[in-house]
């Protein structure tokens, strides 16, 4: 095991996980895309879902977050059954998201983008406190607080999205392809940031990644999704070493 590899501290049972997705069926119109997806995320873990284009990765994300209706199965979070809750209720329950498509408001400053991220909070002092907390975690954003978000680099905008996801003190953050559209060096920096947040503040992350190898390298555990079902799962290091997973998803031999 190389030095950059995360270590699972203790093998925990799925029953005690923070997020439990159990045998979920969901899709669009009358057609199921997800045909029995099960996964779990423990507090303090980074979990990565990999799989080919069209496998249903984003649909898993949308089903958990109430954007796509779950027809069968259930989603439990922090002891509550949140199956088919509305996105805003799920946010209030403690899950925030970084979506696959860019979501900063380009004509607003970094600070204004963060303020908007706290629209649920009425207490002005708390809004300020939380924004300053995000600036502490991301000094690059602090330096650019008055810059229009649209004029920042792709990597900086991605950091802003991640920072914004942390404002409401979520218990878990879901990220759909945090590396999407970023150059390789920037991708590495974003993954490093996610890893550091996990180590520094114990951030729990459920992440979807096309960039399977790098995604798994910073994760504790992983799942492979194919044709709407999870086919492999386990310790991220084991998945990275699994010959079948390597051949099919990691461009390895
Ligand atoms: N709004 C929609 N209406 C109908 N079908 C959809 C819709 N969104 C996605 N699909 C279909 O669902 C399937 C899974 O899509 P999904 O976006 O979940 O895949 P993905 O694994 O995230 O792929 P990618 O790696 O390209 O992001 C695809 O066949 C896609 O065409
Ligand atoms: Mg997707």
pLDDT in the model for residue 66: 95
From the number of C-beta atoms within 10 Å of its C-beta (0-12, 13-18, 19+), residue 38 rates as middle
Range in 10-19, 46-55, 140-149 the model is least confident about: 10-19
Label residue 4 by pLDDT band (50, 70, 90): low
**For the chain, which residues make up each domain, given as ranges?**
16-94+172-253, 104-169
Predicted local distance difference test score (pLDDT) of residue 90? 97
Cα–Cα distance between 74 and 82 in angstroms, integer? 8
Q: C-alpha angle 201/203/205, rounded to 5°?
A: 165
CB-based contacts of 236: which residues, under 8 Å, 6+ apart?
A: 5, 6, 48, 216, 217, 219, 220, 221, 222
Span 190-234, pLDDT tens digits: 999 999 999 999 999 999 998 999 999 999 999 999 999 999 999
Check if 57 has its Cβ closer than 6 Å to any atom of ligand 1: yes
| 91 CA from centroid of ligand 1 (Å) | 23
Ligand 1 atom closest to Cα of residue 177: 27
What is the structure's pLDDT at 149? 96
Q: Are 141 and 110 in contact (CB under 8 A)?
A: yes
Q: Which of 34, 58, 224, 230, when mutated, tests ligand 1's pocket best, judged by the most ligand atoms within 8 Å of its CB?
A: 58
Q: Which whole-number Å values give the CA distances from 57 to 123, 137, 228, in the listed order?
A: 36, 29, 8
Reported as a pLDDT band with limits 50, 70 and 90, residue 83 is very high
Q: How far apart are CA 100 and CA 94, in angstroms?
A: 19
Whole-angstrom Cα distance, residue 159 to residue 92? Answer: 22
Domain 16-94+172-253 in CATH 3.40.50.300: yes
Q: What are the pLDDT digits (tens) for 28-78?
A: 988 999 999 999 999 999 999 999 999 999 999 999 999 999 999 999 999
If you take atom 26 of ligand 1, which residue's CA is the nearest one? 53
Tokens of 92: 């209030």
């Amino acid at each position: 095991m190389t030095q950059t590899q995360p270590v699972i501290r203790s093998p925990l049972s799925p029953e005690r996980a923070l997020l439990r997705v159990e045998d979920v069926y969901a899709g669009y119109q009358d057609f199921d895309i997800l045909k029995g997806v099960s996964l779990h995320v423990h507090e303090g873990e980074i979990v990565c879902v990999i799989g080919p284009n069209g496998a249903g990765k984003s649909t898993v994300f949308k089903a958990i977050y109430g954007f796509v209706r779950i027809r069968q199965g259930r989603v439990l979070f922090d002891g509550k059954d949140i199956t088919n809750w509305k996105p805003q209720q799920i946010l209030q329950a403690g899950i925030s998201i970084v979506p696959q498509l860019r979501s900063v408001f380009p004509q607003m400053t970094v600070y204004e983008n963060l303020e908007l991220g706290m629209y649920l909070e009425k207490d002005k002092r708390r809004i300020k406190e939380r924004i300053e907390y995000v600036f502490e975690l991301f000094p690059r954003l602090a330096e650019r607080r008055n810059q229009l978000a649209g004029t920042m680099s792709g990597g900086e905008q991605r950091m802003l999205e991640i920072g914004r996801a942390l404002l409401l003190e979520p218990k878990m953050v879901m990220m759909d392809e945090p590396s999407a559209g970023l150059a390789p060096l920037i991708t590495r920096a974003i993954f490093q940031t996610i890893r550091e947040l996990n180590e520094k503040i114990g951030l729990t992350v459920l992440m979807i990644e096309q960039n399977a190898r790098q995604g798994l390298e910073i994760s504790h555990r992983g799942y492979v999704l194919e044709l709407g079902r999870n086919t492999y799962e386990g310790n991220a290091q084991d998945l990275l070493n699994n010959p079948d997973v390597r051949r099919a998803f990691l461009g390895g031999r």
